[in-house]
Amino acid sequence: MRCRLCGKKAIYKELRFCEEHFTSYFDKKVKKVLSNPLFKDKKLLVALSGGKDSSALLFSLAKLVENEEIDFSLKKVEALYIELGISGYSESNLKASKELCNSLSINLNVVNLSDENGVSVDSVSKKSRKVCSECGVLKRYLINRFAFESGFDFVLTGHNIDDELFFAFHNLINGNLNYLARSGKITPTDNEKKLVGRVKPLYYVSEKETAIYCLINNVPFSREKCPYSKNNAQIEMKSKIPLLLDSKSKKISFLKHLNKLKKYFPLEEENSVEKCERCGFPTTTKICKFCRIIEKNK
């Protein structure tokens, strides 16, 4: 099969692109989101896990800035790695994150969950049957807290279209319409609530596409699998999504239609977001989930 733009050998059959045109297709998707004037002169923090998605995002972002395709300075972009304490996994992800940031000359911040709280995901796994959901709470909290306390305007994450579809189905099935209504490509910053806005530049990019991007551009990323991933409901549900949405265009169309429906979903009253009595970060209960997990596992 030949590339539909230049006639060279196509490496991505779904869209019929050669290596070069596939790379520019991917970079354009990132550029489209980040060209939003909202980000001009803002401090951006890329949440880097060491895996393929966030690594591809940081690599593409750095290239777009260097080629002056988006108008902001790399001095205002930093990365953050959360050391979760998962033995045999965290080490290789941190190594890949360091290698990528060194090659792009981007400052890598590291927050260590157990140094600061005396708890690791390994220790949480001994008491919890829902290790992935607690791991997710710990990660999101630490990313937001670091971004807020360090004065970042937005956090960029490597969530892709497959992650978004999981999120959409999961919340629809569980009736979490409020979460769904607040999700999307860009969520705003609210300094009063200590919530830093989130941006998902890979919102319309698939998992397969980020993997191809990393491979053809030699982006360093960790291929290590988390030992707890077999308990991850997300991986299980994601494998079923293609039974319903068997092409990229159907996935995009589903998300676009769902986004149009969001305005009809009931939003909780604004005052239902309170400050945690322990840490002062937002919560809908007296003590936030992060503080409760730490307390339970100390």
Binding positions for ligand SF4, rule: CB under 6 A: 121, 131-132, 135-136, 226, 228-229, 232
Closest distance to ligand SF4 from the beta carbon of 30 (Å): 23
Looking at 6-14, 105-113, 150-158, 160-168, which segment touches Zn ion (CB under 5 A)?
A: 6-14
Q: Is 3 in the site for Zn ion (CB under 5 A)?
A: yes
236 burial level (CB within 10 Å; 0-12, 13-18, 19+): exposed
Comparing CB distances to ligand SF4, the nearer of 51 and 197 is: 51
276 in contact with Zn ion (CB under 5 A): yes
C-alpha torsion sign, points 222, 208, 106, 132: negative
Distance from C-alpha of 89 to C-alpha of 222, rounded to nearest angstrom: 9
* Helices 207-216/52-66 angle, 10° precision: 60
Phi, psi of 283, deg, nearest 5? -160, 160
Which of Zn ion, ligand SF4, none does residue 200 bind to, with CB < 5 to 8 Å depending on kind? none
Per DSSP, which regions of 207-280 are E strands?
A: 274-275
**Quick one: which of 181, 147, 120 has its CA closest to 48?**
147
CB of 283 to Zn ion, least distance (A): 6
Which residue number, 130 or 286, has a Cβ lying nearer to ligand SF4? 130
Minimum CB separation from ligand SF4 for residue 46, in Å? Answer: 17
For 18, counting Cβ atoms within 10 Å of its Cβ (0-12 exposed, 13-18 middle, 19+ buried), the class is buried
- Which listed option, ligand SF4, Zn ion, none, makes contact with residue 80 (CB within 5 to 8 Å by class)? none
Minimal distance, residue 260 CB to ligand SF4, in Å: 30
The interface partner of residue 136, options being ligand SF4, Zn ion, none and the CB cut-off 5 to 8 Å by kind, is ligand SF4
**How far is CA 146 from each of CA 46, 63, 79, 104, 277, rounded to the nearest angstrom?**
12, 25, 11, 22, 19
Binding site for Zn ion (CB under 5 A): 3, 5-6, 8, 18, 21, 276, 278-279, 288, 291
